[in-house]
């Protein structure tokens, strides 16, 4: 883990994204169904980048100092998850890096959709690494624009019109700071490519 991590840049990125989330949540009001203990977005694997991975590993290391038993339980859940996912992993199962390209993306669509996140406490439904969670987790819920339009959690915005959804759009990183930070990290570390949370936390 780089000695200068978390960097001032990543701290700034988190502040920008969390501020955007707060604003979007305010505009969304009761349309937003996200509540503590709701685990809709905590089941099913998704790709994370090296910046996310490093943040999670730092969070786990910090938790281990405060509460070794909780940290060890997360790592154990991660290792069990990796064991389940390895046979069909669409990438290098030794490094945990996902393959790239259209065929790999197609394989990933149906991969691990029922797998719970290792950071999810199975007893209370809360994230045990919440402060260190990936960007995908930080923006889940409010409308976020992608190539496919505005995407929202299926539990949120029930009965809302397209205009009502658009009025709550979240723009999490308008200056694309994450991309700059990621390029810098990959250049310094020599490690690039996406992985998933289980592989990241199992090490």
DSSP structure string for 69-138: HHHHHHHHHHHHHHHHHGGG-SEETTTTEEP-SHHHHHHHHTSSTTPBPTTB-TTT--BTTGGG--HHHH
What pLDDT score does 2 carry?
Answer: 44
pLDDT in tens, the chain (203 residues): 444 455 789 999 999 999 999 999 999 999 999 888 899 899 999 999 999 999 999 999 999 999 999 999 999 999 999 999 999 999 999 999 999 999 999 999 999 999 999 999 999 999 999 999 999 999 998 999 887 788 888 899 999 999 999 999 999 999 999 999 999 999 999 999 999 999 999 98
| pTM of the shown model | 0.91
């Amino acid at each position: 883990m780089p000695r200068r991590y978390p960097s001032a840049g990543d701290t700034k990125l988190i502040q920008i994204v969390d501020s955007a989330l707060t604003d979007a949540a305010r505009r969304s009001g009761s349309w937003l169904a996200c509540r503590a203990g709701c685990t809709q977005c905590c089941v099913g694997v998704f790709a994370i980048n090296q910046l996310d991975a490093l943040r999670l590993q730092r969070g786990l290391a910090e938790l281990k100092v405060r509460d070794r038993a909780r940290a060890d339980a997360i790592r154990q859940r991660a290792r069990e998850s990796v064991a389940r996912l390895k046979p069909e992993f669409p990438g290098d199962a030794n490094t945990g890096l996902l393959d790239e390209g259209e065929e790999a993306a197609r394989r990933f669509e149906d991969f691990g959709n029922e797998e719970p996140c290792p950071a999810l406490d199975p007893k209370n439904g809360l994230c045990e690494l919440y402060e260190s969670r990936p960007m995908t987790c930080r923006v889940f819920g409010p409308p976020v624009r992608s190539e496919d339009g505005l995407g929202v959690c299926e539990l949120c915005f029930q009965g809302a019109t397209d205009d009502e959804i658009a009025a709550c759009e979240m723009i999490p990183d308008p200056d694309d700071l994450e991309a700059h930070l990621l390029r810098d990290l990959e250049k310094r570390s020599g490690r690039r490519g996406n992985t998933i949370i289980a592989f990241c936390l199992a090490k």
